[in-house]
Amino acid sequence: MRKIFTYILALTFLGAAISFAESPVVNAKPSSGELINKSWAAHGKKDIEATFKYTQELIDLYKDEADKEEATLKALPKAKNEIEDVQVLNDVATAYFIQAESLMRQEKTGEAKKIFKLIINKYPFAQAWDPRGWFWSIKLASEQSVKKIETGSIEVEQKKKVSQLPTKVVLYDPGTEDIINYEKYGEFKNISTRDYKYIVKDQEGLIAAVGEGIYPNTSSVRWDPELKKAQKEKRLEGDIWDFSHSPDLEAAFLKWATASEPQGVRLFYTALILEKSGLIKQALKCYYSIVVHYPASYGWTYWHTPWYVGQAAIAKINFILRNNPQLGYKLEGADIKIINGYDNDVANDIAVTNPGKFVKSGKTDKVTTKPKQDLTKIIKRSGEGKVYAAKYENGDWQLVVEGSPYIIKGITYSPTKVGQSPDEGTQTSWMEDDFNQNGRADGPYDSYLDVDPRKTPTGDFKFMQSMGVNTIRLYHHPGKVDKKVLRDMYENYGIRVIMGDFLGKYALGSGAAWNPGTDYNNEEQKTKMIESVKGMVNEYKNEPFILFWLLGNENVYGYACNANTEPDAFFKFANEVAKIIKSIDPDHPVAICSGDILFLDKFGKDAPDIDIFGTNAYRGDYGFGRLWKSVKEEADRPAFITEFGCPAYAEGKTPEEGEDGQAAYHKASWENIEDNMAYSLGAGNAIGGVVFEWLDEWWKAYEPSIHDTKGLWAGPFPDGFMHEEWLGLASQGNGKESPFLRHLRKAYYTYQRLWR
Amino acid sequence: MKRLVMFLAVLFLALPILASAQEQATDTPKEFGVYSDKNAKTNHFIPSGWMGDYGDIKMNDQSADNPHGGTTSIQFIYSAKKTQNQGWAGVYWQNPANNWGNKKGGFDLSGMNKLTFWARGLKGGEVIQKVMVGGIKGTYPDTAAVEMGPIELTDTWKQYTVNLAGRDVSYINGGFGWATNADLNPEGATFYIDDIKFESDPALKPESKKQEALPFYVFSDRSSARNHFIPSGWMGDYGDIKYEGASKEDPYLGDTCIKVIYNGLKAQGSGWAGIFWQNPANNWGTVDGGFDLSKATKLTFWARGLKGGERIEEFKVGGIMGEFSDSDSAVIGPVILEKEWKQYSIDLKGKDMSYIIGGFCWSANVDNNPEGATFYLDEIKYE
């Protein structure tokens, strides 16, 4: 997820343009990357002359090369490196695109359309990078623009690709056992080692016990009368992934149970559909079959990072058992550790598996096995100041603020007026926005509830305080920070600030150009980043609202920085920066903001002076799984989630159901954080989390005046897609009363119950 | 009604003068000839559809060398020289000649429920991979597609039958066909066919698949008639696969083994590739085929990697879904191959193996084989 500071885009281009302007004049042929940066910057500034100068220069210099690159492609490249292999093609097509967009802006629609059509016909495999975090097809964007020219609308028709008949799964063969006694049907070997195996001795018996669709029972589903029926009704037609979120649960079950996907993935989605259909026991069996038979299986996320299905299955089982105490079971001891699992390479993975065991849960379970806080003492402490992280004798971690444990109940606060967009350079600072000209910031102090007929100016700070928020996350650059607002927020509403520096992400602070971005081996750039961080610390270290310092924003994924290819250099540098911070300010700890657990092992090894591991994680509605335990094993640091969230929009659902889905996602996320806090039964190192985000931002799917429902990327959300403009716990209603109106969604009240 | 139409068609072609033969239609014909003797009036189809390495085929349709009936038989000499680089060849009898479904022709053979023919090899041991009735597609497709084989010929005449009971033979343009390949006949093959005809046999019942006897081979050796499935289902990055069905590089048993080179270059951008052994070839559940392997309790095969360490994600049997789906599936994997031959087994106990068109399958991906993988397979069989 790469949402939080995308507004830097316009500023970055501007910065790049300035740095180019200052460069000495040389006659060398400019790279296509340089020219595209200049083109975007000129387009951003609405400088039509410069836009056409740079784009045309790029096209003239690189068109032939682009044509050759296009000719080498048979399909849209998927992996990042493959996309970057045809960068000239991407830049040339982007140059045409910018020209067409510029013409559209000038209302020269006929000329614009010609260029869009040229792109569609000549460069179907070109892609451009969106700093929101993904590549986009220039051809598709061109098609949308053509449609916009022709129809005046950009709404993309979303065709239902698979059966939408609402059904529930009716099992033909539910199996003979609810909890499988695997010892009866085979033998577990080498538990908790890399040579773990379950050897089936009585396959027939196991097939009968597990029932339909669950490994190794692949027979029953083919006898299921529903299969023939669904085939006859053509309800099984369509792409298997479109079934994952279809209301035709019967068809989805049949489709997945007979799918040719890798076994672990097949079983996970089969289980998911059983779970959705309310067949909880069957779902548990199905999830557990992954742990037993396919613990090392993996799938790939949209971002092409490995997704370890066995670990996810254990998380799902724990989630289901937690929410269904009537089942009376718990899963004890189950764990799948993937050695070398913190990189993007699955070839070197080694799974160490303990399938654990389902045991009856009894009254004694409520008594924790861990000693209470007052019986333990601190054995390690980061920092001597008023804020520090403490490790207790039992190995658990807590954040301590002024002598008391502090749970980060955080939220990302970035209220943006409807119609504003950083893409168009129109976004203003929420700390300075004063559209009603009453001398105070609109969002924080003047917002009101949709249900309040008198529209009483109440303010987000008040709403957040009522919700239980005690922290927001903020970066000191590139926008301006108004200390007075933050002081007031702390003094009157009790909300502190995690203050961050991007540490070279999006080329911020390093002085590097967007392309190729920050290089963590470049001494000059490192010096600049250190100066940026020093500036932040010196500016704010004495402010009472500071909770601690945060370095980066999922730099490990790369994008205008090379932390993805040089993770050791990045973490070592971050560690140096942490040491410098502490030399200036011993009062506040230092945290990193990483991307899920990518390169976690390198963080543990390279960054011993960073006190807290923070990470952006979007793992679905059942918590964060093994994340906490992995941090404990690899780094032994307290951990918190720097971003997590879920859209309140889901295709095919009512607004009410959409809010329900969002609320359920947040509830499960927070309960999982709680389950892993000190003195809980989990990993004991969770110190809280930062919800993404307070308010819907309407610019994220490109049209800042429209509340887009576009699914921007596939992910573990209620309808399988991320709808970026619907992540707020509060909405802006129909947008007409922006930036003041607030509709508080169900998730807001969920947190009120959980946090207060 | 269909019978009437067919009969009229026969009369029209054979005796165009006798136009008003309606009353004769009450007599259901008992047989309908494809070929009996050179220039016989009962020959209704022409052996015009030469396929594959057509340059490897020589045909003498008036061979007087020991015909089965009458005065001539058809002699085929298949050289296996791969003239067109296909590795296989065959001939369809069509009506009219060279009709690949692009024009209306053929016959309504309703009422006929089997095709019989006689065949012999010059030496004995020649293998016809399969014989076909119908199966020509195009604008005017045959209403049935039935295959039978493989057939290992003897040096004396023997009659073979293709059961058509229960099949819709209301439009058949490809009256008969044979196909074979160089793997099955590395030195080529000379064989004779005679007295090909459709027959009506009231006692014949629709063929229910017989339970195959074990062991039942997917692949034994390249020229073996015991190979029952065809490695036709190339999946994923099929451009990354090089398949050698007759590698002599240290086979586990016999003269040859299968060698697969997967280069992992993502020719189609998928990141994975695999091959399904199917029956008939290219059957993704679209045609009735396959075998009843109900007696099988396991599938075994031998495998080795060129270097050792090659990772195959899945070895699988069954699992093809379509109008004619496999009755079940079973999988093992991932399997890390060793440099030496090792036998692997897929447990089929408790599985419904009554209808299997996807006899065997492997799949591998580039994630776990960044440099690709070269591996060998041998002796793939149901036991």
Whether A426 is in a domain gets the answer: yes
Average per-residue pLDDT in chain B? 89
Residue A9 in this model has a pLDDT that exceeds 70: no
Q: Using the 8-state DSSP alphabet, how is residue B308 labeled?
A: S
Q: What is the pLDDT of residues A28-38, one digit of tens each?
A: 788 898 898 88
For chain A, the distance separating the N- and C-terminal CA atoms, rounded to the nearest angstrom, is 28
Asked whether residue A394 falls in the same domain as residue A466, the answer is no
Backbone angles phi, psi at A539, to 5 degrees: -70, -35
Last residue in a domain, options A104, A129, A151: A151
B154 touches chain A (CB under 8 A): no
Residue A577 in this model has a pLDDT that exceeds 50: yes
Total residue length of chain B? 383
**What was the pLDDT predicted at A129?**
79
A197 touches chain B (CB under 8 A): no
Asked whether residue A143 falls in the same domain as residue A251, the answer is no
> Does the distance separating the beta carbons of A77 and B269 come in below 8 Å?
yes
Asked whether residue A457 falls in the same domain as residue A603, the answer is yes
A537 alpha carbon, distance to own chain's centre: 28
B15 pLDDT band, cuts 50/70/90, is very low
Q: Closest Cα to residue A724, out of A741, A746, A708, A747?
A: A708
Strand pairing category for A741-744 and A730-731? antiparallel
Residue A559 in this model has a pLDDT that exceeds 80: yes
A262 touches chain B (CB under 8 A): yes
> Does the distance separating the beta carbons of A77 and B368 come in below 8 Å?
no
Q: What is the 3-state secondary structure (H, E, C) of B302-342?
A: EEEECCCCCEECEEEEECCCCCCCCCCEEEECCEECCCCCE
Asked whether residue A458 falls in the same domain as residue A394, the answer is no
Asked whether residue A377 falls in the same domain as residue A436, the answer is no
Closest Cβ–Cβ partner in B269, B347, B352 for A219 = B352
Whether A162 is in a domain gets the answer: no
Rounded CA gap, A534 and B359, in Å?
A: 67
Q: Which residue type, as a one-letter code, is found at position A381?
A: R
**What was the pLDDT predicted at A714?**
86
Q: What is the CATH number of the domain that holds A535?
A: 3.20.20.80
> Does the distance separating the beta carbons of B321 and A258 come in below 8 Å?
yes
Q: What is the pLDDT of residues A280-306, one digit of tens each?
A: 999 999 999 999 999 999 998 877 789
Residue B6 in this model has a pLDDT that exceeds 80: no
How many domains are there within chain A?
A: 4
A19 pLDDT band, cuts 50/70/90, is very low
Range of the domain at A68: 8-151
Average per-residue pLDDT in chain A? 91
If residue A285 lies in a helix (H) or strand (E), which one and from where to where? helix A280-293
Q: What is the 3-state secondary structure (H, E, C) of A629-656?
A: HHHHHHCCCCEEEEEECCCCCCCCCCHH
Q: What is the CATH number of the domain that holds A100?
A: 1.25.40.10
Domains of chain B with bracketed CATH: 2-199 (2.60.120.430), 216-382 (2.60.120.430)
Q: Peptide bond before A608: cis, by omega within 30 degrees of 0?
A: no
Q: Comparing A75-84, A256-265, B249-258, B319-328, which segment has the lowest mean pLDDT?
A: A75-84
SS3 of residue A454 by DSSP: coil
Asked whether residue A375 falls in the same domain as residue A299, the answer is no
Whether A101 is in a domain gets the answer: yes
Asked whether residue A357 falls in the same domain as residue A437, the answer is no
Asked whether residue A461 falls in the same domain as residue A528, the answer is yes
**What was the pLDDT predicted at B27?**
56
**What was the pLDDT predicted at B257?**
95
Rounded to a whole number of angstroms, the distance from the CA of B375 to the nearest CA of chain A is 17
Closest Cβ–Cβ partner in A77, A78, A219 for B351 = A219
Asked whether residue A481 falls in the same domain as residue A379, the answer is no
Task: Decide if A547 contacts A496 (C-beta within 8 A).
Answer: yes
Instruction: Select from B276, B313, B316, B347 the residue whose CB has the most chain A CBs within 10 Å, as the one to mutate to test that interface.
Output: B347
Asked whether residue A105 falls in the same domain as residue A135, the answer is yes
Residue A13 in this model has a pLDDT that exceeds 60: no
Contacts of B110 (CB under 8 A, 6+ apart): B2, B3, B6, B169, B170
* Angle between helical axes of A746-755 and A655-675 (0-180°, round to 10): 20
- The pLDDT of B169-198, averaged and rounded, is 95
- The pLDDT of A65-69, averaged and rounded, is 93
B297 touches chain A (CB under 8 A): no
Asked whether residue A318 falls in the same domain as residue A380, the answer is no
The model carries a pTM of 0.78
A200 touches chain B (CB under 8 A): yes
> Does the distance separating the beta carbons of B331 and A75 come in below 8 Å?
no
A363 pLDDT band, cuts 50/70/90, is low
Q: What is the pLDDT of residues A630-659, one digit of tens each?
A: 999 999 999 999 999 999 999 989 999 999
Asked whether residue A393 falls in the same domain as residue A325, the answer is no
Task: Decide if B291 contacts B228 (C-beta within 8 A).
Answer: yes
> Does the distance separating the beta carbons of A258 and B350 come in below 8 Å?
no
Whether A669 is in a domain gets the answer: yes
Residue A574 in this model has a pLDDT that exceeds 60: yes
**What was the pLDDT predicted at A161?**
82
